[in-house]
Chain A
Amino acid sequence: MNMAMFKADGKFAVLIAYFKIILTYRAMMLIHAIRLLLLPLVLASAWLSIEKTASNPYSDSDYLLYYLLVPVIMNLTDSRVVFKFSQAVKDGSLNRELLKPFPPLMSYLLESLANNALQLLYLVPFTLVFWLFVRDRVLLGHLKPSLLLFFVVAIIIGTLARLVVSGSIALLSFWIEDVTTLNLILNGGIWALLGGMIVPVATFPENIRHIAELLPYRYMLSFPIEIFSGRLSNSEIYIGFATATFWIILFAIIMHIIWKSGLKTYTAYGG
């Protein structure tokens, strides 16, 4: 789909509308930014304060760079689809999306994208300020254009992976009254553990690391940072892209099936 089509069928107008709405909630954006920054900051402090074992491939410098990027990547790949969609099914506001000649899930996707993009207004300056404090200890000499390109592609793939996993959970709202707990388990706890939020995936024991590399979660957070840190060879990057793409396709198919089936059971409560 080219830009002209994106503009012509209303997607651009809807995206801009969400930008306008989100910008009116400045305080909420700030609180959300603090939430995104706080935990990585605590985790970075914890990892820097403990003594590293010989088997740990991460130095203090690696941990600093990793947790500097965690809030930004967390935000860019974040998805509000579960919360918004389950709410829409419960209060019937999904009705208004279903009545428009516009892909119904697109509206939730665009809202999520707009939110993630605008959150950078806070996150980027905060990250730059943190970087200024630790810049002598963070090594960036290895960065080159091809690595940055891989980094950007990995973020896009990570965003899509999180979106389809979140979307599949969200669509279960057609049958399950409250999917937020399920989301907390699959898209919160397991994501934080296997995605590399609490511990960088590269520092996992080998067996667990292999499992994490096979599952979709690593590609939603750790993988782009590993690329940026220059820790992965080209072949490892390609294998990562292929693994993530497999999960994206699989969950996209699952989403499609759930959507078709869910619409038949949808009771369209309220207005």
Chain B
Amino acid sequence: MFNMPVMNEQVHEYAIVTKALNREFKVRLKAEGLLASVRNFFSPASKTVNAVNDLELQINRGDIVGFLGPNGAGKTTTLKMLSGLLVPTSGSIEVLGYTPFNRDHAFLKSISLVMGQKQNLWWDLPPVETFAIHRQIYGLTDAEYKSRIDELIAMLEIADCLETQTRKLSLGQRMRCELAVSLLHQPQILFLDEPTIGLDIIMQKKIRSFLLDYHRRFNPTILLTSHYMDDVAALAQRVIVIDHGNKVYDGHLTDLTNKLHPEKIISVLLNDGEFVCKLEDGCRLIHHEGQHYRFMVSRNRVPELAARLYATGNIADLTIEDPPLEDLIGQLFTPDSQSR
């Protein structure tokens, strides 16, 4: 049975609180072949899948939190429960003091969920028509509507596509218009499910930069899922990693990278000649092409090695970076990662 949340002052400090949140789905099973189909007709087989398992979340107001995990980890299911689309199997959720699946209008006016590029836009009408309908539904005054829409049009650079039928817009234009309509009522919480999926790199950067700018100005709580780790690295101070419905990490992104990979990559471009420095413990060459070298170095040895490299006087360029986030997160979901 679903337990109603206990309202108390501590809970209200957070934008989102979940306790022992579970969601099960019944999945139909069918083996291959005609005989299996006939058997299944008389006796349908199914299994219960725990999409979300005892999830405990506490998210502060105004935070940007990255929600990471492989496909089927339970990220979208969680977002759908937090936005009121799905009823939990058990556990409690409180979002801005509301129980989401009760779908109070005051709650729905305080949130936005962006999933793909046609969640909120009317497919057969130009975006400007969707904005006008949205304004009526959310009860915005003329002044609020005018100032917000002008600001969003400028920030998202969508002035040129407002009167084009939505179905005829490019993916990037649609995504930006989708964001505009989702933010028109200035939600206190923004759920973003793969906001940059399918977009080219330039458009991904534009969306990220817009979201950062928007957050700086209006300070909404943002919960973001993305397969593009650049999105997460650029936007989220905190990440929550789930796998098979279980939370496996909750903390700062930098702590996660330090924990998973206690090394950094130093890339060096020499002016001329070859690299003659002796490699010591905690430092190994991982790539070499012409005058370009890449070393994997223990974090505690990075300053020392960088200083030694500069001391040679033969450095045209030197960069220090973390290993790709995709690789790090991938490590979390490998079988031997459970011991970490």
Q: Could you tell me which A residues sit within 8 Å of B by CB distance?
A: 7-10, 12-14, 17, 20-21, 24, 95-96, 98-102, 263-264, 266-268, 271
Contact = CB atoms under 8 A, between A and B. Distances in A.
B109 A101 contact: yes
B172 interface: no
B317 interface: no
Contacts, number: 73
Contact of B25 (A14, A17, A24, A267): A267
Chain A facing B: main interface SS: helix
Interface in B98-138: 101, 103, 105-106, 108-109, 111-113, 115-116, 118-120, 122, 124-125, 129, 132-133, 136-138
A98 B103 contact: yes
B86 interface: yes
B80 interface: yes
A193 to B, nearest CB: 31
B220 interface: no
Looking at B111, B120, B124, B139, which has the most chain A CB atoms within 10 Å of its CB?
B124
Contacts of A8: 136, 139
B85 A95 contact: yes
Given A8-B139, A101-B109, A271-B115, 12 more contacts: A9-B136, A9-B137, A10-B137, A17-B133, A20-B129, A21-B122, A21-B124, A95-B85, A99-B108, A266-B86, A271-B119, A271-B193
A268 B84 CA distance: 10
B83 interface: yes
Contacts of B193: 271
A20 B163 CA distance: 14
Contact of B137 (A24, A101, A267, A268): A101
B134 to A, nearest CB: 8
Nearest to A17: B133
Given A20-B129, A101-B108, A96 B136 contact: no
A104 to B, nearest CB: 9
Which of under 10, 10 to 19, 20 to 34, or 35 or more describes the interface residues of B?
A: 20 to 34
Nearest to A267: B25
B87 interface: yes
B120 A96 contact: yes
A197 to B, nearest CB: 31
16 contacts: A8-B139, A10-B136, A13-B136, A14-B133, A21-B122, A21-B125, A24-B124, A95-B85, A96-B119, A99-B84, A99-B119, A99-B120, A101-B108, A101-B137, A263-B101, A267-B86
B84 A13 contact: no
A236 to B, nearest CB: 43
A100 B185 CA distance: 11
Contacts of B87: 263-264, 266
Contacts of B129: 17, 20
Contacts of A10: 133, 136-139
Contacts of A267: 25, 86
B25 A95 contact: no
A98 B138 contact: no
B115 A102 contact: no
Nearest to B25: A267
Nearest to A102: B137
A17 B84 CA distance: 26
Looking at B85, B139, B193, which has the most chain A CB atoms within 10 Å of its CB?
B85
Nearest to A14: B133
Contacts of B138: 10, 101
B136 A101 contact: no
Contacts of A264: 87
Contacts of A21: 122, 124-125
A17 B133 CA distance: 8
Given A99-B85, A266-B86, A267-B25, A13 B132 contact: yes
